[in-house]
Chains A and B, each alone.
Chain A
Amino acid sequence: MIDITNLNPGPAVGIGYRAAIGEWTLKNLQHFDVLEITVDHCLSSGQFTASAIYDLVGRIPMTAHGIGLSIGTDVPLDLAYLDKVATIVERLQAPAYSEHLAFTRAPGRDLANLLPVPKTEAVAESIIAKVRTVQSRISVPFLLENITYLFEWPDSEMSDAAFLNLICGETGAGLLLDIENLYVNAQNHRFDPCKFLDALPAGLVKEVHLAGGVTVSQNYLDRPVLADSHSHPVPDGALDLLDNTLARQTPDAIVLERDDRLHAGDEILDDLKRIRNRIAGQHIGNAHGRTAVGSAS
């Protein structure tokens, strides 16, 4: 296994690997400390894509990310799927495997979009048991990711942070903090994202996601809504939240996610620079004894 923390004094910075820009990624490999591999792409995108990914082993550290577990669906986990994931994680020599705290499907329907679960103690208990199952079958640390959500369950009784803390605290799972998701949720549901960050215990955040989305206006919506489309540069407000995060947390990796307008390679590289600048600023700030605090606008 490659230790991504040994390469740089701060967190490793990289992108989520996408086959559609595989060649561009190879040409620009020197800009990345780490690539995040979506394990489901190794499973279902065909031999060519899987081979291109496995060819990167040993050339650059890779961390493993999943989108197909649907840990929040109230049915037993698909153990055959998990075992395939375990094999891929080993082959990638990934230091961690992450999945979303969400559900995407129920028997007979699959929205293929991440949906929230009711934030109740009963649901947390059910997910805690499943996290333990994942941990028993995957040899590397398991991280849960906070999702962006458009709707809330009417019976949710806990805050996002309290729900995550309960599950991670009981299982020892780390947090993949998606700062764009936090930024989007805070804007759409009108809460203070800094309070969310303040509620996370130090050391919980092991990896970070950043991305940029769009604002959507529709006649059936009460107000414009931010959408996590992974299509545009990271907003400054999300980078401010990164400052805030780095003041309290020491993630091993920061991954920029991009799934649309992939041709805009310059934007991707520029985002990485902006992220590195924020990390550098944090180090300078800490060295001078300042507390770096950011707040979302």
Chain B
Amino acid sequence: MVERLLDRQVSPLEYPTGGGAIYGASGAAVADQAPPGFDPGMLRLEACFSHEKRMDKIQSVFPQTFRLLGDARAGIVRDFAATFPPVDISRLANARQFHEFLRARWQESLPEPPHLRDVAACEFAFAMARAPSPVDEELPPAGRPARGAIRRHPGIILLSCEYDVRPVFEAQGQDQSQDQSRDPARAALSIRRETLLAIFLPPGEQHPQTFEILPVVFDLLAVLEDWTVPSEFVLGPESDELIRELADSALIEVRL
């Protein structure tokens, strides 16, 4: 029976997306795993090109994370390649996979330096904020939100951090010529205190902006994922003013 092309296409994709082909266990072992009929050396080169391209995309999203990973970087990338094969061409999808991998790894053992977890979360949030916002589907009249309903601006990313890592990004670009992964001055830039952040890309801007917000605002924005009528909240007499301020700063949208 003739094998379907799709089934056959899986082999030259699976082999070069595996850690064995990228890093090579031993030459003979890798050659044995290559799909029959294909040149194992060329498939391995394909694997290396593809992996380099993928890691370039990921590193462009996590520049500070990679810098702070220091000597651990090579081992982490290798483990990542072995456990998270690429499933999508996009920069954001690959960055999401890498962030998931880091989060899982750091649940088992804390990263060094410890604020690295928040640095990675912020960098992934910057990437999400840069991505095109989802377009609202046209709803039937009955399903449309009422006038005056509010929701969090769909482009805003909320982040609860254990450290205030904003100085890491403010220092970014000041002196990137040297590896600062173990620079104690840089490590000292991040202070351990709960920091609630809203990250979004203002219209026409290239770089996302980061704002520290009060716990009450963070909680309100967190529940406003969908259109909601403000009267459903019992926020106290200042709520109207708060909503107005949030709308003025484009953190929430108001249905007209």
Contact = CB atoms under 8 A, between A and B. Distances in A.
B43 interface: yes
Output the residue of A47, A72, A222 with the most chain B CB within 10 A: A47
Interface stretch (A105-113, A236-244, A265-273): A105-113
Nearest to A116: B12
A108 B87 contact: yes
B90 interface: yes
B249 interface: no
Contacts of B6: 73-75, 106-107
Given A106-B6, A123-B5, A225-B42, A112 B13 contact: no
Given A105-B89, A111-B16, A113-B50, A151 B43 contact: yes
A19 to B, nearest CB: 10
A74 B13 contact: no
Nearest to B46: A150
Interface string A137-167: 0000000000000111111000000000000
Contacts of A220: 24, 27, 30, 40-41, 44-45
A48 B206 CA distance: 6
A50 B13 contact: no
A126 interface: yes
Interface stretch (B157-165, B168-176, B197-205): B197-205
A109 B89 contact: no
Contact of B86 (A48, A50, A110, A151): A110
Contacts of B54: 112
Interface residues of B, number: 47
B86 A111 contact: yes
Contact of A44 (B40, B91, B201, B204): B91
A111 B24 CA distance: 18
B173 to A, nearest CB: 16
A46 interface: yes
A6 interface: no
A263 to B, nearest CB: 15
Contacts of B42: 150-151, 221, 225
A112 B205 contact: no
A110 B4 contact: no
B17 A111 contact: yes
B86 to A, nearest CB: 5
A74 B4 contact: yes
A77 B130 CA distance: 28
Given A51-B204, A73-B6, A220-B24, A110 B39 contact: no
B131 A46 contact: yes
Contacts of A225: 42, 45
Contacts of A227: 45, 49
Contact residue range for chain A? 35 or more
B50 A103 contact: no
A104 interface: yes
B9 A103 contact: yes
Contacts of A287: none
A68 B91 CA distance: 13
Contact of A46 (B14, B41, B43, B132): B132
Contacts of A73: 6, 9
A44 B88 CA distance: 12
B106 interface: no
Given A109-B17, A109-B85, 11 more contacts: A44-B90, A48-B130, A75-B6, A112-B86, A112-B89, A113-B53, A118-B5, A150-B45, A151-B38, A220-B44, A221-B42
Closest 3 CB pairs of A and B: A154-B37, A74-B6, A74-B5
23 contacts: A40-B89, A44-B91, A44-B92, A47-B133, A48-B204, A67-B89, A73-B6, A73-B9, A105-B89, A106-B6, A106-B13, A109-B10, A110-B89, A112-B54, A118-B8, A151-B12, A151-B39, A154-B36, A220-B30, A220-B40, A220-B45, A221-B45, A227-B49
Interface of A: 40, 43-44, 46-48, 50-51, 67-68, 72-75, 103-113, 115, 117-118, 122-123, 126, 150-155, 216, 218-222, 225, 227
Interface of B: 4-6, 8-10, 12-14, 16-17, 24, 27, 30, 36-46, 48-50, 53-54, 85-92, 130-133, 201, 203-206
